[in-house]
A and B are shown apart, each in its own frame.
Chain A
Amino acid sequence: MPDTESGLASTDGVFTKCESCGDPIYEKDLASRFNVCPHCEFHYPLSAPDRIRLLADTGSFEGRDEGMLAGDPMGFEGYGEKLAAARKKTGLDDAVLSGTARIGGHGVALAAMDFRFIGGSMGSVVGEKISRAMEFAYDEGLPLVIVSSSGGARMFEGVYSLMQMAKTSVALSRYMTGSMPYVSILADPTFGGVTASFATAADVVIAEPKARIGFAGARVIESTTKERLPEGFQTAEFQKDHGLVDRIVHRLALKNDLERFLGLLA
């Protein structure tokens, strides 16, 4: 299992070794395939900007609420440094990008999380930007597409992190009183407060192949219950078998899949 926090395989050289199948990959191939291994089709984490490049019609994305930054409401030791490092590493303000875009010509509100930014954890900025995207989509009558990838709560923000579940839920609840669809896409990994709020309360839940999805992580469960978990526990395929996910869609087919869905309701 690759180190998903790394976000991208190394781009130092020409080749990198697939952490899943062990085969060497041309890094250019990996990038052109949006971080899907050309040999074993393993889906590596995809940054939020790349995710938008994957899904939005070329040049159609217009970011919203840019420049919004995390506060440090608890004065939590080390949070400031953590934020600064994450900003530097990713070039992002926080763990989500949001805005409007066209997908196959269909106007949508689009948000994508970035696991590289403190594990895609949901702090106040994620909650606020997601909620604003929902409000904007509701006001404008746009379909809503959110790509989640999150380790869960941003503990550094304490209860504010928890309250982002409530915030996004009230915003989504209002959005759902309209008749426009909400598609939630779950990328590896999606856990905790994100799964237990906006990421699962969707009309359609799509997951990437083998993405790990759940509330509590497998390691926590194993260490708490001493139970051996079955092969493939919490993978997208497992969750689809358990009726929790609608579709498993290969990353390179995802844009087309959304176009089909949006086209059906257009």
Chain B
Amino acid sequence: MESHKLQINVTVNGQARSSQAGQSLDVLLRELQLDSRMVVVEHNGVIVRRPDLVETRLDEGDNVELVHFVGGG
């Protein structure tokens, strides 16, 4: 059952966050209300292309970086 899923600790953009083991990056983005077309995801130092976000799952201690384009010169 969903409710029994293991809680894990991950780091997202430098902030500690608890998540469920096996949660996909796609779901993480949705939880964060981020549009995957606007964001690039790096998972444990490896870029995850958009089609692979659904397949890529979080594990204990994972590090996720979510980046986008901001104003700069």
A binds B: no
Residues on A lying within 8 angstroms of B by beta carbon are: none
